[in-house]
Each structure stands twice: as C-alpha cells, then as structure tokens.
Amino acid sequence: MTIPKPFSSPESSPESLTFAELGLNAALLKALPTRLKHPTRIQQLAIPAILEGRDLLALSQTGSGKTFAFGLPLLQILRQQIAAQTTANSVPTANAQALVLVPTRELAQQVTKALHALASELSASLHILLLCGGVSQEDQLAELAAKPQLLVATPGRLLDLCIQSHISLDLIKHLVLDEADRLLEMGFWPDVQKLMALMPKRKQTSLFSATLPEALDNLAGKLLTNDPLRVEASTLNSVAAEIEERLYLVNKGSKAQALIALLKQYQWPQVLVFISARDDADAVAKRLGKAGMKAAALHGEKDQTVRSQTLADFKANRIQVLVATDLMARGIHVDALPVVINLDLPASAPVYVHRIGRTARAGAKGLAISLVCHGEMAFLTAIRSLTARELPLALLADFPVTDKPSEKNTDDGVNGKVERKRPPRDKQANRRSINKHSAKAFKGKR
C-alpha cells in the first residue's frame, strides 16, 4: 500500500502558524511552555493528522520537535476522553488507551518527562506511566494503581509485564512508534510484534523517524491502514543545516590522542563523544580523566541508576565530556550542546545522522567532528551516499597520517587514489620479524 504524501511541501508551511491554528484547544495551549512560540514544521504537519484520527508516517530531522508532534495531540485526545467519562459519571477504565514505544530507557525517560509536565497542567486525572528496564518492577506495578491513560515504554519491559498479566493492552486506541527505524531492528522488532498482537487491530498508529530505511518504508504500508498520511518535514535522511561537519583523516591508533588534543585546544564546555564499543567507551573516559578532564562513560552495561545519574550530571554541566555508545544517539536532548565528536564512524549510515543530530537542536547551531581512519572508508562512502553530502576529509595539525588504505586503489578523500598493497618482500620481512618476536616470547627465563 502506498501512503500518500501531503499536497503541500513542508517548505511551504507558514512560519507564523500558531498552535491554536493546528486544532489544539485552549487548555492545552495554556499548558504549553512559554518558550514555544510557533510550532515546528513536523508539528504543523503531524498534529492535525493525529487529531483527525489518521494513521501517520512522519519523517523529520533530529531535534525538530517530534515528541510534541505526537505528544500534544495525544494529550488533548486523552483529556477529552477523561472529560467525557466525568460528564457521564462513568468509571475510568483501568487499562491505558495510548502507548508510546521507544528503543532506549533514556529516551523513554525524556519523553515521559516532557509529556508529564504538560499532563500535570491539563488534568489531575491524566496520568502517564514510564515502563522500562533497570527500574524496580514493584514500583512500576504500584504506579499502575493510578490507572494511567498513557504508557511510555521500552518493548522488553512492557512485554514482560504483559506476559505476567500485570498489564493489558486490549484497550489501546493510539500507538506511537518513536524512532521507528530503530524499533525495526532485530533487537526490538520481535518484541514489538508480540506487543502489537496484544492490541486491538483497529487503532490509530503513528510512526516517527528521522531516517527512512527500506524496511520501514515497506512496513509502513502494512501497519498504517486508517486513511494513512505520510509527511516529510525535511529532505529524507538529511542533516540539519545548522550543523557544521568536519571530518579528519587520522591514524587508527592516534584517535584518542587526537581527541584529547582537540578538547584541550578548543575547551568546549560540553562535548558528547560517540564510540561503538562499550569497553572502548570506558577506556577512553578513563584516559580523558587522566588527562585532567571531567569525563564519564555511558553504555548499556551500566546500572540504570548510574546511567540516569551520569546523563543528569552531563546535562547539568557537572561532566564536561560524555563518552557514549549509540544508546545516546536516539532522541536524547541536551540543551545547547555545542559539539558532537565521532571517535569512530558507525557501520550504519543512518546512525551517523542520529549521532550528530544531538547538536544543533531546536534551531541552535552546532559542530560535528568525525575522526576517520582508512579502515572506515566504506562507512564514510555509505554516509556520503545517504546524506548526499560531500563530507571531504581534512588532515589534523600535528597528526600526520602514516597508515595506508586497506584495499588497492582506495580513495581516502585527501590524497586521492592510493596504491595500497605492500610489495611481497615487505610482507615476507614482516612475517620474519613477527616470527623472531614470537620465538623470543617462548624462551624460558635464565
């Protein structure tokens, strides 16, 4: 099934449009933070569609206001339902009517915090419940007594509670998959499918994402059946214009030194460093600490209490450098974060878009730096293709590149085509050298 796009292009949306013109009622308008003067483009496109009850595929850059794009209409719909029950003197249902699924605990906490602030202003009877791993299940079960209308959850914890019959999803009328492309990956999708099987077939479904892989495009046509609409608030898979991207070619073994040199040179107040491996995140954070910087690592193997405190310390500027795996690449908002540094390039090109989208959020300007070695050229090619950006490589002062490309005739973006393979005699000499070292290693002590 092909999901129709809106007739007007996103770029034609009037900047002066108000939240009231989107169909939001007076109570919700009054509850909005004073900093919100005009809706963002994705909010202009998504809010009316959700209020109309249409299924939705919403695509927009990171930092563009997607949480309020689905959160505001959901809160208005739920408040109206509560008001109708009160007028009819009916007993509020014990089961939630709306569910927002997200891939990480940090994102679940952030979405809950943003929507809870609004819900508390709207109605004392409008409750939101956060359900994610790393938090006491007993505490979450106690909160169910408040009969929450909206659940914000990670798939694993919610499925556990459903299997144990602590929660029923049989009254879900509104489902949102936030960071939908991530939820399609094998670590999440089986659980998401099981959860959807527990919900009514007739419900409103909204998919929100900053990137559109083929798998999500195909799935959207199957999941979205209720007068579906596809809205694109920006060019697909694009990077915000406010982000300045700098890419440096460095030796693989020089990356940590180059990172320290950059941090010392520019003295940024806050820096988010991305790295793929958990063990490497800990090692780099430790090395930065020895270099005199307030640094910490954040990854999925850490206790949830530690993760929450580390993120809170970073947002409060008690930590200058946060070295994180890709659990921080999705949806996490840090006010005015000036710099993101990729210590390695991600193997998945869309992850690059999400990573650097942690800076330049809500229209602010930001800087994204990537330290690239020859072994990551295939990743860089994929990123260039996805984003349609040239992303030229430069050399970093005081860090000459001595490593060679790993494949014959590889274009490193700096020196052009490079003849990569060593002459046979060099290989043989290298093997002899290795053998000598190996033999010495097995000699006993005298």
pLDDT tops 80 at residue 385: yes
Q: What is the pTM of this model?
A: 0.79
Hunting for tokens 């689905």 — which residue is that?
Answer: 70
The answer to whether residues 211 and 352 belong to one domain is: no
Residue type, 39: P
Asked whether the CA dihedral 181, 184, 188, 194 is positive or negative, the reply is positive
pLDDT tops 90 at residue 241: no
Say which residue, 322 or 332, is predicted with more confidence: 322
The answer to whether residues 171 and 254 belong to one domain is: no
Is 22 within the bounds of a domain? Answer: yes
Return the pLDDT at 85. 82
Residue type, 397: A
The answer to whether residues 327 and 221 belong to one domain is: no
Read off the pLDDT of each residue in 342-351 and give the average, rounded to a whole number.
94
Structure confidence by residue, pLDDT tens digits, 112-125:
999 999 999 888 88
Hunting for tokens 């963002």 — which residue is that?
Answer: 40
Is 89 within the bounds of a domain? Answer: yes
Hunting for tokens 């208005």 — which residue is that?
Answer: 76
Return the pLDDT at 215. 80
pLDDT tops 70 at residue 10: no
Return the pLDDT at 372. 98
The answer to whether residues 34 and 168 belong to one domain is: yes
- CATH code assigned at 280: 3.40.50.300
pLDDT tops 80 at residue 414: no
Hunting for tokens 């799935």 — which residue is that?
Answer: 219
Read off the pLDDT of each residue in 410-438 and give the average, rounded to a whole number.
43
pLDDT tops 90 at residue 26: yes
- 127 pLDDT tier (thresholds 50, 70, 90): very high
pLDDT tops 50 at residue 298: yes
At 383, list the tokens: 């990123």
The answer to whether residues 276 and 148 belong to one domain is: no
- 437 pLDDT tier (thresholds 50, 70, 90): very low
pLDDT tops 60 at residue 423: no
Q: Among 50-54, 134-138, 170-174, which stretch is predicted with the lowest mean pLDDT? A: 134-138
158 is in which domain, residue-wise? 10-232
Question: Any alpha helices (H) in 184-318, and if so which ranges?
Answer: 189-197, 214-223, 255-266, 278-290, 304-315
Return the pLDDT at 126. 93
**What are residue 388's phi and psi, to 5 degrees?**
55, 40
At 436, list the tokens: 């000598």
Residue type, 352: Y
pLDDT tops 60 at residue 131: yes
The answer to whether residues 201 and 256 belong to one domain is: no
pLDDT tops 50 at residue 8: no
Contact 207, 178 (CB under 8 A): no
Domain count for the chain, please give it.
2
Distance, CA of 422 to CA of 161 (rounded, Å): 58
Distance, CA of 164 to CA of 185 (rounded, Å): 25
Going by the DSSP 8-state scheme, the letter that residue 359 receives in this structure is S
Q: In the listed set 200, 232, 264, which residue is the last one of a domain according to the structure?
A: 232
Return the pLDDT at 45. 96
Torsion of CA 403, 407, 410, 413, to 10 degrees: -40
Return the pLDDT at 247. 98
Is 410 within the bounds of a domain? Answer: no
Q: Among 8-22, 313-327, 378-392, which stretch is predicted with the lowest mean pLDDT? A: 8-22
The answer to whether residues 222 and 247 belong to one domain is: no
Is 194 within the bounds of a domain? Answer: yes
Residue 203's closest CA among 54, 303, 313?
54
The answer to whether residues 56 and 185 belong to one domain is: yes
Read off the pLDDT of each residue in 132-158 and give the average, rounded to a whole number.
92
Return the pLDDT at 149. 96
Residue partners of 190: CB distance under 8 A and separation at least 6: none
Distance, CA of 318 to CA of 71 (rounded, Å): 30
The answer to whether residues 270 and 191 belong to one domain is: no
Is 93 within the bounds of a domain? Answer: yes
Q: How many residues does the chain have?
A: 446
pLDDT tops 90 at residue 296: yes
Return the pLDDT at 240. 82
Read off the pLDDT of each residue in 228-236 and give the average, rounded to a whole number.
88
At 200, list the tokens: 């009514």
pLDDT tops 80 at residue 343: yes
Is 425 within the bounds of a domain? Answer: no
Read off the pLDDT of each residue in 252-267 and give the average, rounded to a whole number.
97
Return the pLDDT at 91. 65
State the chain's mean pLDDT as an integer.
86
CA atoms in the 13 A half-sphere facing the CB of 429: 5
Return the pLDDT at 319. 97
Hunting for tokens 């990123």 — which residue is that?
Answer: 383
Read off the pLDDT of each residue in 241-255 and give the average, rounded to a whole number.
95
Query: C-alpha angle 118/119/125, rounded to 5°?
Result: 160
**What are residue 75's phi and psi, to 5 degrees?**
-65, -40
The answer to whether residues 198 and 265 belong to one domain is: no
Q: In the listed set 179, 209, 232, which residue is the last one of a domain according to the structure?
A: 232
Is 281 within the bounds of a domain? Answer: yes
Residue type, 94: A
Read off the pLDDT of each residue in 273-292 and give the average, rounded to a whole number.
94
Residue type, 22: L
Q: In the listed set 179, 212, 232, which residue is the last one of a domain according to the structure?
A: 232
Return the pLDDT at 326. 87
Contact 159, 131 (CB under 8 A): no
Structure confidence by residue, pLDDT tens digits, 183-196:
988 789 999 999 99
- 88 pLDDT tier (thresholds 50, 70, 90): confident
Return the pLDDT at 263. 97
Buried b (16+ CB within 10 A) or exposed e, 37-72: eebbbbbbbbbbbbbeebbbbbbbbbbbbbbbbbbb
Residue partners of 398: CB distance under 8 A and separation at least 6: 261
At 150, list the tokens: 């909206």
At 170, list the tokens: 């049989």
Residue type, 380: L
Of the chain, the end-to-end C-alpha distance in Å amounts to 77
pLDDT tops 60 at residue 420: no
Return the pLDDT at 413. 54
Query: C-alpha angle 220/68/313, rounded to 5°?
Result: 110
Q: How many C-beta atoms lie closer than 10 Å to residue 93's C-beta?
A: 12
Residue type, 387: T
pLDDT tops 60 at residue 381: yes
Return the pLDDT at 440. 36
Distance, CA of 436 to CA of 446 (rounded, Å): 18
Strands (E), 102-173: 128-131, 150-153
Residue 103's closest CA among 210, 201, 247?
210
The answer to whether residues 292 and 157 belong to one domain is: no
Structure confidence by residue, pLDDT tens digits, 266-275:
999 999 999 9
Read off the pLDDT of each residue in 239-257 and give the average, rounded to a whole number.
94
Q: What distances in angstroms separate CA 120 from CA 27, 244, 313, 321, 431, one per listed residue? A: 12, 38, 25, 34, 69
Is 411 within the bounds of a domain? Answer: no
Return the pLDDT at 421. 37
The answer to whether residues 195 and 290 belong to one domain is: no
Hunting for tokens 């809170």 — which residue is that?
Answer: 312
Percent of the chain with pLDDT over 70: 86
Helices 304-315 and 105-122, packing angle to 10 deg? 70
Return the pLDDT at 407. 59
Distance, CA of 75 to CA of 83 (rounded, Å): 12
Distance, CA of 91 to CA of 149 (rounded, Å): 13
Read off the pLDDT of each residue in 258-281 and give the average, rounded to a whole number.
95
Return the pLDDT at 333. 79
